[in-house]
Structure 1
Amino acid sequence: MGGFSMTHKRAYNWYISLVAASCMVLYGYDASVYNAVQGSKNWVAYFNHPSPQIIGAINTAYTVGAIVAGFFFGGPVADYFGRRIGMVAGACFVILATFLQTFSPRGDIGCFIAGRVFIGIGQGLALTAGSIYIGELAPQEIRGKIMSFWQMFYSVGSFIAYWINYGASKHKAGLGEWDWKIVVIFQLLMPLLIVAQAFFLPESPRWLTKKDKIDAARRSLRRVRDTDQDVEDELLKIREALEFEKEAISSTYTALWKDPSVRKRLLLAFVLNAGQQITGQGTLNTYSTIVYKKVFTNANTIALINALNATFGIIFTANATWTVERFGRKWLLIIGAIGMGVCMIIVAAVETETPVLSGGGKSEPVGISIVFLLFLFIFFYKPTWGATVWIWTSEVFSMNVRAQAVGMASQTQNVANAIVQQFFPIFLNNCGFYAFYMFAGVNFLLAVFVWFLIPETKGMLLEEMDTKFGGANHVEQGGEIMGVEDAHHADLSGKMAHSEHKEMA
């Protein structure tokens, strides 16, 4: 398998995976930027003091764009045009949307909302293609470790957005309306970098093989695998799996409902991805400013806490890089859910059982305790339900449905988030921090769900993942159809002789 040492090709594998993971910076930045600009009085004034309904519509516009793109376009674009084009198309939509939002005419909230829709479409395309790309090119023994950077880059996006916002909030007088525009326009940085690098990356060998571009797939694998034997073994397994899927199931998306094993995975992935957002993280990321206003009265303090939260998010996600391959996906999800549930119970108890000061807010020790507990929540969330849900989702589907299934599953995050975001502000307003008891209960239920229903996928070859869900081994079955003697090992001498014969001819 090329070993575990950091060879030149292994380092290159990390580089291309990190470029693809940059798609998640787009998501992290955008998920945080709207939360940030709502705190700008200049933004509120620029758009003529939008009503709470309009504020909700701006959020919903993004979510609708992402859901539509993820469910209906992300998979087909990544499957028809390739994983790289999927990432580039998503980045281009984000670039267009950034200009629409930054330079919306004064008072034209419709233009700003249109920008939010395009951002959502860009996310739906880029996140589908990027996560699949990493899963399909990463060596199986470090796939989880590499994929953990996917969630870390979400935190990097939040980090950039909140610190730019914090810096802008310190210079409001000098910046004027650019105190929010500068936060929005910085969103150009990462999509431009993705577009500039994407076409220099190797295309997914699994996508190339599916398109019958075998030599191109071989060249692609040679750029990221250490030996010719590694290349030919992996290429053989990919071809066998595709042959079996075409002959015995379906090479089209109909396998999503024809294959019981795929149906089962899709339902499990829907629950995991929806669960990721109803742990409380999605709500905190969107409404942390409103939550902290119940504890702190100073807007600068809240902006600083948000920025520090994003900073620690990067550090906490790094824990996934050494835990996900050591302990496995299932263990991380269970420990994370229990830890988050306990944090939510204590946060709710601390806030609801302590007095409110005469000037509003809470005493300094109570405020610090709540911030600490919400940071502890992030400590549990980031390497588990943050990173691991993406890892699991990107690796469990067979090639014939992978792009479509990952697109649909990942967008259930936005479906769940949209539902929770609609009622959470009302819930928080009416019930205060008692709302967090609900999240505690959800987290404990998720731990039980994972314990009984989610199989461990650590170290599995993508093409053999079906065996974990009651399906056939696509490699071995495909090998039988192709008449291959050893389904897991390519006869390199025969292939080299054939290659030399072709060159001489």
Structure 2
Amino acid sequence: MPKLFAKFQTPEPAPGSVPPPPETANLRIGLVALVGLSAASLFGYDLGFIGGTIALPSFIKDFHYDHRSAADLANFQSNVVAVFQAGCIFGCLFTAPLSDRFGRRAALMLTSFIYIIGCILMTVAGVGGANASALLLAGRVVSGWAVGASSMLAPVFVAESSPPHLRGRLVGCYEIGVQAGTCLGFWIPRSPEQNIDFYLLSQYISLKHLKNTVAWRMPIALQIVFGGLLSLLLLFVKETPRYIAVKQGAVAAESALARLRKLPASHPYVQEELLGILEQIEHEKTQKAGSYLQIIRESFGPSNRRRLLTGMLIMVSFQMSGTNAINYYAPRIFKSLGLKGTSSSLFASGVYGLVRLVAVIIAMAIVSDRAGRVSMMMVGGAGMAVCLWIVGALIKTHPVAAASKVISPSSYAAITLIYIYAVFFCFSYAGIPWVYCSEIFPLRIRSFNVSITTSTHWAFNLMLGKSVPFMISNIGYATWFVFAACLTVSSVWLYFCVPETRGVPLEQMDQLFGGPSPAEIHAEAMERWAGQDKPESPLHKEDASMSDV
């Protein structure tokens, strides 16, 4: 057994490495994690609220689908989900150049403003005679662009700011934000339909004649709060030390790193981390031709091809686990498992969100930096696969009778297994893909590569968003077998092909994927610095302190 899991053990620290001081876990790095959590809530809330909202009778009526065919309604609802995901794909692809040009923080601030604009468009859809469907879909595309951009930017921003020993937990806060937003989104659409009194709200905003539409407008408008919170938090954090090192040099990076670690600039831990950053930058300069086209070429070149393919396949495995399909269509899925009535299926969706939230907090806060990234995905994926194989078998052998008014034991078993599946997901694919893909790429091509892996995530999200309703209708139980088979294959692939990254500094990722070792990078940097009149190495403090920044 020890031999079986040997590849998942944390790599030994380099000889002479400075152990992380307790000061590195401080309020400033906590604010960085909150930025990631807040950015993730934009995505998570949409995952949770949209499925319940588009199923509300008031939504269907206001968009004039109450007298249309079931096929027309299903097509419109899937389009509402799909255009958001299409916006996400373009958002994460086209934000990488902005991130490299203006910084991770500035790009995140821009996306928060764009997100708010999209949410306003959706909220006012149909007011004053406006074309409700067109305005809603336009708002979904705009807000989707912002969510896609933030899903690429936030993990990179947190990873580049985090000390190695905390990186898993801090980037994992992104997934906690996703699940917190999802949980809230699952519960919000229930409230107006359960006759909770929104009369005072509608009176206050002078929209009493729109009281029925508050049922779907309120959860949409709540998104504006999430965008505003992200903008507010960004005012209290600085750009990442690694980005500053590239754009402003060693002295500015040293100051930023010391501030973030809450240590003196002369502290050995700060100096060691800074030296690793600067040496990696020097190494990358030897390969840099200066153009964005060269970055694209290098990203698909031999030295980076394996990690890019690994990141993309991890995101494919994430989506093909079926989790976001359940998130988007949870009420419908729970109905297909035997729950009767909109209220029961929405309540089951809400409980599903709570289970995921509790599980992901435990996984990301306690387990992620103790267990390996790859072992968590492999073992959790295997557990998810077992659950879905059994769910599919139960539906096949004990099909739900449409006329039955009683929930069968097999339906209860299937629903319970979906909750167990959710726990396995939260201990595996919930946060680890975001952590893994944000840490494996070299600094100067990191934004572009993370945009590729994240767009892969959104492309498969889009595909599933459009196909899952038809899969449930046409192949029924086999839907679960498709996801179970994908999880089974991915667990085998993870064991044999994917290296462990837990505890590895960002500057040492090259060696894991067949690149130069830290010692080789150090020797190369020393050779380059030896030929400079004003070296930026922290080992030459008297010169570096005099250099222009």
TM-score, structure 2 as length reference = 0.85
Q: Secondary structure at the match of 2:475?
A: helix
Confirm or deny that 1:446 pairs with 2:490.
Answer: yes
CA distance in 2, matches of 1:372, 1:417: 25
CA distance in 2, matches of 1:224, 1:202: 9
Residue 323 (structure 2) aligned to one of 264, 275, 281: 281
Residue 135 of structure 1: how far off its partner (Å): 0.5
Identify if the C-alpha distance between structure 1 residues 476 and 178 changes in structure 2 by more than 3 Å, giving closer, same or farther: same
CA distance in 2, matches of 1:203, 1:231: 17
Paired residue type of 1:198: L
Paired residue type of 2:103: G
Residue 21 of structure 1: how far off its partner (Å): 2.5
Identify if the C-alpha distance between structure 1 residues 288 and 501 changes in structure 2 by more than 3 Å, giving closer, same or farther: closer
Q: Say if 1:21 and 1:131, in contact at 8 Å, map to a contact too.
A: no
Q: Which residue of 2 aligns with 1:297?
A: 340
Residue 139 (structure 1) aligned to one of 160, 163, 180: 163
Residue 338 (structure 1) aligned to one of 376, 382, 402: 382
Q: Say if 1:249 and 1:255, in contact at 8 Å, map to a contact too.
A: no
Confirm or deny that 1:148 pairs with 2:167.
Answer: no
Residue 16 (structure 1) aligned to one of 19, 32, 35: 32
Deviations 1:313-357 (A, max 9, x none): 111112233222222111111101100100001111222322534
Confirm or deny that 1:29 pairs with 2:45.
Answer: yes
Confirm or deny that 1:314 pairs with 2:357.
Answer: yes
CA distance in 1, matches of 2:537, 2:544: 13
Q: Which residue of 2 aligns with 1:55?
A: 77
Q: Say if 2:40 and 2:178, in contact at 8 Å, map to a contact too.
A: yes
Residue 406 (structure 1) aligned to one of 450, 463, 484: 450
Q: Secondary structure at the match of 1:55?
A: helix
CA distance in 1, matches of 2:63, 2:469: 22
Confirm or deny that 1:92 pairs with 2:134.
Answer: no
CA distance in 1, matches of 2:62, 2:90: 29
| Matched ranges for 1:157-196 at <5 A | 157-171=181-195, 175-196=211-232
Identify if the C-alpha distance between structure 1 residues 492 and 241 changes in structure 2 by more than 3 Å, giving closer, same or farther: closer
- The answer to which of 461-470 and 288-297 deviates more is 288-297
Q: Which residue of 2 aligns with 1:377?
A: 421
Paired residue type of 1:80: R
Residue 303 (structure 2) aligned to one of 261, 267, 271: 261
Q: Which residue of 2 aligns with 1:386?
A: 430
Residue 65 (structure 1) aligned to one of 43, 68, 87: 87
Q: Which residue of 2 aligns with 1:416?
A: 460
Identify if the C-alpha distance between structure 1 residues 379 and 481 changes in structure 2 by more than 3 Å, giving closer, same or farther: same
Q: Secondary structure at the match of 1:296?
A: coil
TM-score, structure 1 as length reference = 0.92
CA distance in 2, matches of 1:371, 1:256: 47
Q: Say if 2:400 and 2:411, in contact at 8 Å, map to a contact too.
A: no
Identify if the C-alpha distance between structure 1 residues 482 and 3 changes in structure 2 by more than 3 Å, giving closer, same or farther: closer
Paired residue type of 1:332: M
CA distance in 2, matches of 1:424, 1:112: 22
Gaps of 5+ in 2: 1-16, 66-71, 200-210, 531-535
Paired residue type of 1:432: G
CA distance in 1, matches of 2:410, 2:252: 60
CA distance in 1, matches of 2:423, 2:276: 38
Deviations 1:67-123 (A, max 9, x none): 11212x121111111111121122111111111001112552011000010111101
Number of residue pairs aligned between Structure 1 and Structure 2 = 497
Gaps of 5+ in 1: none
Paired residue type of 1:145: R
Q: Say if 1:341 and 1:443, in contact at 8 Å, map to a contact too.
A: yes
CA distance in 2, matches of 1:330, 1:133: 22
Residue 396 (structure 1) aligned to one of 440, 449, 454: 440
Deviations 1:133-187 (A, max 9, x none): 1100110011112222111110011112122222222127854110111111111
Confirm or deny that 1:366 pairs with 2:410.
Answer: yes
| Matched ranges for 1:429-468 at <5 A | 429-468=473-512
Confirm or deny that 1:234 pairs with 2:273.
Answer: yes
Paired residue type of 1:303: L
CA distance in 2, matches of 1:126, 1:356: 41
| Matched ranges for 1:98-117 at <5 A | 98-105=119-126, 107-117=131-141
Q: Secondary structure at the match of 1:7?
A: helix
CA distance in 2, matches of 1:8, 1:482: 28
Deviations 1:438-470 (A, max 9, x none): 111111000011111110111111111011111
Paired residue type of 1:289: P
Residue 60 (structure 2) aligned to one of 44, 50, 62: 44
Q: Secondary structure at the match of 1:457?
A: coil
Paired residue type of 2:234: A
Paired residue type of 2:345: I
TM-align CA RMSD:
2.4
Q: Say if 2:296 and 2:448, in contact at 8 Å, map to a contact too.
A: no
| Matched ranges for 1:492-503 at <5 A | 494-495=540-541, 497-498=542-543
CA distance in 1, matches of 2:315, 2:300: 22
CA distance in 1, matches of 2:82, 2:162: 35
Paired residue type of 2:274: L
Q: Say if 1:83 and 1:133, in contact at 8 Å, map to a contact too.
A: yes
Residue 282 (structure 2) aligned to one of 243, 254, 271: 243
Residue 270 (structure 1) aligned to one of 312, 337, 340: 312
Q: Secondary structure at the match of 2:276?
A: helix
- The answer to which of 362-371 and 214-223 deviates more is 362-371
Q: Secondary structure at the match of 1:311?
A: helix
- The answer to which of 161-170 and 181-190 deviates more is 161-170
- Higher helix proportion: 1
Deviations 1:223-256 (A, max 9, x none): 2223433222222221211111121355652354
Q: Which residue of 1 aligns with 2:69?
A: none
Q: Say if 1:90 and 1:124, in contact at 8 Å, map to a contact too.
A: no
CA distance in 2, matches of 1:474, 1:248: 17
CA distance in 1, matches of 2:405, 2:369: 43
Percentage of matched positions with identical amino acids: 23
- The answer to which of 56-65 and 184-193 deviates more is 56-65
Q: Say if 1:297 and 1:360, in contact at 8 Å, map to a contact too.
A: no
Residue 358 of structure 1: how far off its partner (Å): 6.2
Q: Say if 1:65 and 1:120, in contact at 8 Å, map to a contact too.
A: yes
Identify if the C-alpha distance between structure 1 residues 472 and 249 changes in structure 2 by more than 3 Å, giving closer, same or farther: farther
Paired residue type of 2:88: A
Residue 360 of structure 1: how far off its partner (Å): 3.9
Residue 215 (structure 1) aligned to one of 251, 272, 276: 251
